[in-house]
Structure 1
Amino acid sequence: MQGKIIKGIAGFYYVYVRGRGIYECKARGAFRKKKIKPVAGDAVEIEITDPVDAEGNIVSIAERRSLLIRPTVANVDQALVIFAASKPMPNFNLLDRFLVMMEQAEIPTTILFNKVDLVDREEIERIRRIYAASAYPIHFMSAKENLGLDEIRRQLSNRTTTVAGPSGVGKSSLINRLQSATRMQTAGISVKLGRGRHTTRHSELIPLEGEPSAVEGCLNTGGKGEAGPSGGTGDPVGRFLVNRHFIEDEARVLEEDSPEMICEEIRGRYQDARGFIVDTPGFSSLYVPDFEKEDLAFYFPEFLPYMNACRFQPCTHTHEPQCAVREALDRGKISQSRYDSYLQMYEELSERRRY
């Protein structure tokens, strides 16, 4: 059975299987011997060891398309870097560091500015101009006013997206808005994972809204069975089982003198995910990835058209005469804000190499 790890903690891995739900799994000892550690986002093959409690073992891990080290998450399709247009004022240097991280990991990135209801059109255009030459897709929205949400939802559909950004910019509000139609599902998954929603301590894939399955659950008296499809009295199966918390929490409690079997639609119907958001801890630091300072310019896309035209090769684009990158800066082809970020990161990488 194939699935995707949505969270790993204390040696347990919670695997989402489309159409069935969440299984609590352990990794086989062979992974430890090979020094392979499953991570959130991994596509895995599992074997079911306990169908009643939805438990299993991870037997294989598919080849990873991508891997972020900090935070550790695999197979990310894209990144959504979120900052506020105001309150707090955007820290463009921090934003540029996030962009460098994603460039190094070769993950396509979209920039999102939240709280645009707090700024005027002139400020929006000023922000847009800073990143115009970089060619990053840039969106403006207001989670509070529900502006621009449909466009973001389309951007995230059927993809695994890591969300980055500092505290206070509205990441939680955005995730809550995107999950508004799946709160019951998410609450049930939180029970299985043993945590509250968005209490982010480990990298976790949060399922986005999907199509509800036509699931009906039944309770019977006398402990003859917990639930079954369309009124069945046998053991629970797959998706019914992994949503057992919905059945226990939401279905009516039957009295001893009630009819033996009463069926009702479970209000916590399972929904197949239409993509995932990677909710990650510790993703707000001023961290610069560890690479050679000579490589930094390659992670600023707007520098690339000019780098080969510099008179001196290799060129650091910091002080050399007839540097095509600096000439582009003087002509307004590269924003001063972006270039200042480059200089600061270049200096930090230079200092790091001295020690």
Structure 2
Amino acid sequence: MEGIIVKGIGGFYYVKINNEIFECKARGKFRKDGLSPIVGDRVKITLDKGKGAIEKIYERKNELVRPLVSNITQAFVVFAMKNPDINLDLLNKFLLQCEIKDIKAVVCFNKIDLIDSYEEHEAVKMIKKAGYEYIFLNAKNSIGLEEVRGKLKGNITVFCGPSGVGKSTILNNIVGKDVMQTGEISEKLKRGKHTTRHSELVEVCEGFVVDTPGFSSINLTIESKEDLKDYFPEFWDYEHQCKFNGCLHYKEPGCIVKRAVEEEKIDENRYKFYTRTLEEVINGGKNKW
């Protein structure tokens, strides 16, 4: 049978198949191969007298370290309009991490009640021009949360963003504390107060949500200067129009991307972030945040 690991704790893995959850152990062969099952893994299991065994872990689309989870398809990148103010470079680093990990990013602008004319904020204009989806939220008053819920179907979703922006408030509203405290898994996992806590996938609106806020800091390495431009979706339409093949959209003459920046078709803040990041990669050989 095939299913998805929704929780792992104390060497036990809880695999959801249709509407049932099976407690499983991993075969020893995975340890020999240096591979451990993690939440989000698609797996094949067998059952013997009601005890499950994980026989195969299917190839992962991606993997995050904090939280430790695989096969994420969507990230709600949460930033507050105020308290704390938006750091454009940090927002772009979160978007870059999503692109590198092949995760669809949806930007959530929370605390819209704290500023006037929030739709005219430079961060909002930047995101619009870059082509990312975005949602305006006032999570404390449940404004915009239905739009968030509407995007959960068919996805494994993580919430991420810097500290203090309201990730936990949004997550608790979406998942609901009653959902997180009940269910077949929670009953099985009452093994003592010292049990190690791992992330869990909670089923909401026909999708899965990681039940802890995701990465609040950036930890990724860019090895190749040639790869960086591929992580900026607004560059893609211009990719083969530049004068030189393999144009880095940096100092080369006849660069159509640079012309698009001058014509305000590509956001200048995004382009400046790109060139600064490119310079760090060139000067350091690789870029690690």
TM value normalised by structure 2: 0.84
Give, in whole Å, the separation in 2 of the partners of 1:144 and 1:281: 17
Alignment-derived partner of residue 39 in structure 1: 38
Residue 336 (str. 1) matches residue 265 (str. 2): no
Q: 2:107 aligns with which of 105, 111, 119?
A: 111
- Counterparts of residues 19-58 of structure 1 (less than 5 Å): 19-21=19-21, 23-48=22-47, 51=50, 56-58=52-54
Residue 106 of structure 2 aligns with an amino acid whose one-letter code is T
CA contact (8 A) 1:7 1:204 kept: yes
Query: What is the aligned-residue RMSD (CA, Å)?
Result: 2.9
Unaligned runs of 5+ residues in structure 1 are: 210-273
- Any idea what SS the aligned residue of 1:350 has? helix
Give CA-to-partner distance per residue, 1:236-295, whole Å, 9 cap, x none. Answer: xxxxxxxxxxxxxxxxxxxxxxxxxxxxxxxxxxxxxx2111246771223343330111
The count of corresponding residues between Structure 1 and Structure 2 is 282
* Amino acid in the other structure paired with 1:278: V
Instruction: Report what 1:347 is aligned to.
Output: 279
**Aligned partners of 2:239 and 2:275: how far apart in 1?**
15
Question: Structure 1's 338 and 314: CA in aligned 2 closer, same or farther, altered over 3 A?
Answer: same
Query: Is the CA contact (8 Å cut-off) linking 2:41 and 2:58 kept in structure 1?
Result: yes
* Identical counterparts, % of pairs: 42
1:125–1:353 CA distance, 2 compared to 1 (3 A): closer
- Higher radius of gyration, 1 or 2: 1
Deviation track 1:48-83 (CA, whole Å, cap 9, x = no partner) reads 4675xxx5321222344x112444432222222111
**Residue 5 in structure 1 maps to residue 1 in structure 2:** no
Residue 218 of structure 2 is aligned to residue 289 of structure 1: no
Change (3 A) 1:79 1:184: closer
Report the equivalent of 1:175. 171
Amino acid of the structure 1 residue aligned with 2:133:
P
Is 2:240 the partner of 1:308? yes
Q: Which residue of 2 aligns with 1:62?
A: 58
Which residues in structure 2 correspond to 1:226-241 (within 5 Å)?
Answer: none
How far did 1:192 drift? Answer: 4.1
Other structure's SS at 2:253 match: coil
SS at match of 2:86: coil
Q: CA separation in 2, counterparts of 1:282 and 1:275? A: 17
Q: What's the secondary structure of 1:310's corresponding residue?
A: coil
Is residue 136 of structure 2 the alignment partner of residue 161 of structure 1? no
CA distance in 1, matches of 2:234, 2:152: 25
Match of 1:241 in 2: none
Shift in alpha-carbon separation, 1:122–1:36, aligned structure 2, 3 A? closer
Find the partner of 1:99 among 95, 102, 105.
95
- The reply to whether residue 186 of structure 1 matches residue 181 of structure 2 is yes
C-alpha distance in 2 between matches for 1:149 and 1:120:
20
- Going from structure 1 to structure 2, the CA distance change for 1:90 and 1:19 (only over 3 Å counts) comes to same
> Could you say if the C-alpha distance between residues 287 and 352 of structure 1 is closer, same or farther in structure 2, counting changes exceeding 3 Å?
farther
- Give the C-alpha shift of residue 152 in structure 1: 0.8
Aligned residue runs from structure 1 range 107-256, under 5 A: 107-124=103-120, 126-180=122-176, 183-184=178-179, 186-188=181-183, 189-190=185-186, 192-193=188-189, 202-208=198-204
Take 2:224 and 2:201, find their aligned partners in 1: how far apart are those partners?
31
Assess if the C-alpha contact under 8 Å between 2:222 and 2:228 holds in 1.
Answer: no
- 2:231 is the counterpart of 1:299: yes
The CA distance in 1 between the partners of 2:41 and 2:136, in whole Å, is 31
Distance 1:280 1:338, change over 3 A: farther
CA deviation after TM superposition for structure 1 residue 125, in Å? 5.0
Q: Which residue of structure 2 aligns with residue 77 of structure 1?
A: 73
Contact 2:158 2:214 in 1 (8 A): no
Distance 1:11 1:123, change over 3 A: same
Tell me by how many angstroms 1:207 deviates: 2.7
